[in-house]
Structure 1
Amino acid sequence: MLYALRAMPRPRSLPPTAPATAALAVVDRDGLAALSMRAVAAELGVGTMSLYRYVADRAELEALAAELVLSGVDVVPPRNALWDKQVLVLAERVREAVGRHPNAVPLTTAHRHRCPSAARWNEAVLEVLTAAGFTGVERAMALRALLGYLTGAIGLEHQGPPAGDWTGAVAGVVEDHPLLAETAAVARAVSPADGFRRGLMVVLGGLRRP
């Protein structure tokens, strides 16, 4: 007696953006340490081996998640503003986008070289700097300074000790470090957004051409 062979179901196809969306969902909900091929496959409702059809490894998942975080950043600066205001707006947009996914902050730094959206942002900033007269080494150092401030400020905001805890503790150390205590007490009244803006304005002030 012949038995008809039952065809094995083909693994369902995933939309191109599905691995990135699932990876970011895992990071947002469970933290960066929870990100793995198995966790993302479970998020998608597929087998782990099926996920390898779309993504090579965890490093690629990390890069995809970082790109998804940065992909919504508008890289068109306000055209009628001065160059430093344009850069300020572009940087604030990155801070806002990354701030919506604080667990993914390390990924946006570690994988920025693999993110097309990061490259588009850099190009937009370089266009602003070029129009303002920056060229050559001066332009390269200006971009480096801006990236250093941007990544450092965002990392400190989301990965360092909470600003209130730190400034509260330091504000109480009056005897040994009076200036530090005074500065911390003042800093407690500054919001993260305002602090980011003021710090960036200091950097931009140093970059201003005579």
Structure 2
Amino acid sequence: MPRPRSLTTADLATAALTVIDRDGLPGSTMRAVAKELRVATMALYRYVPDRDALEVLVVDQVLGTVDLTVPAGEWRDRMRTLLDRMRLAVCAHPAVVPLLMRHRQSAQGTLRLIEAMLVILAAAGFTGRDRVIAQRALIAYLLGFLQNEHFAALAGPGTAAMAELDPADYPYLSETAAAATTLTPDAEFHGGLDAVLRGLAAPD
């Protein structure tokens, strides 16, 4: 193994993300990332204390591509734009979805996203408890949808199987599942987000 070379946090994040994209989260060991960088495993500990810290760098790398500057306008349109940008960034690296939950309070990428959401809500007049509930409802929808989209196969075999259930036993489930098979992920995401946004009334 060659002598450890000087690495940047971007080098570490890029290598870890490459491993995750290729091998999934279970394969993203310190050893695998070191191999991707062509350094000894112990060399990584000069830069990060453990795998958790490396995962935080990955989250920051993915969310760092999100443009948080949203043009002025109606607050629901601004929020829709922001969350859509985040979803698209994550869709490019779907295996990182669990990391968004795991490191949502430590990764700068998630903290900056939350701050951007709160800026929009504050400008719309949300304060105190109302702002807390609105922000958490929106982030819960976004993260929940991402998990369903990439780990539950929204229109996959399970949905198709439910659509084939006997209508005599499951009239609404079979009918709804059949309708679900016709929805694209984009249509479902935007439709659900619109429903959440409609339910959040900005204070007068």
What TM-score does the superposition give when structure 1 sets the normalisation length?
0.91
* Structure 1 position 51 matched with structure 2 position 44: yes
How far the C-alpha of 1:203 sits from its partner, in A, is 0.6
Question: Which residue of the partner structure matches residue 19 of structure 1?
Answer: 12
**Among 101, 112, 115, the residue aligned to 2:104:** 112
**Among 78, 81, 87, the residue aligned to 2:79:** 87
Question: Which residue of the partner structure matches residue 119 of structure 2?
Answer: 127
Calculate percent identity across the aligned residue pairs. Answer: 48
* Contact 2:3 2:39 (8 Å CA) reproduced: no
* Structure 1 position 60 matched with structure 2 position 34: no
* Contact 1:21 1:65 (8 Å CA) reproduced: yes
Question: Which residue of the partner structure matches residue 64 of structure 2?
Answer: 71
Which stretch has the larger CA shift, 172-181 or 28-37? 172-181
**Among 165, 182, 197, the residue aligned to 1:204:** 197
DSSP-derived class of the 1:113 partner: coil
CA RMSD of aligned residues (A): 1.4
The superposition leaves residues 33-76 of structure 1 with CA deviations (integer Å, 9 ceiling, x where unpaired) of 01111111000000011111011111111111111111111111
Q: Which letter maps to 2:32?
A: A
DSSP-derived class of the 1:61 partner: helix
Aligned residues: 201
Q: Output the CA distance in 2 between the equivalents of 1:91 and 1:83.
A: 12
Q: Output the CA distance in 1 between the equivalents of 2:154 and 2:190.
A: 18
Q: Output the CA distance in 1 between the equivalents of 2:51 and 2:137.
A: 30
> Is there any run of 5+ residues in structure 1 with no aligned partner, and where?
1-8
How far the C-alpha of 1:10 sits from its partner, in A, is 5.4
Q: Output the CA distance in 2 between the equivalents of 1:169 and 1:34.
A: 31
4+ aligned runs moved over 3 Å, structure 1: none
Question: Which residue of the partner structure matches residue 167 of structure 1?
Answer: 159
How far the C-alpha of 1:78 sits from its partner, in A, is 2.5
What TM-score does the superposition give when structure 2 sets the normalisation length?
0.94
Q: Output the CA distance in 2 between the equivalents of 1:96 and 1:10.
A: 39
* Contact 1:67 1:108 (8 Å CA) reproduced: no
Q: Output the CA distance in 2 between the equivalents of 1:154 and 1:29.
A: 19
> Is there any run of 5+ residues in structure 2 with no aligned partner, and where?
none
How far the C-alpha of 1:132 sits from its partner, in A, is 0.9
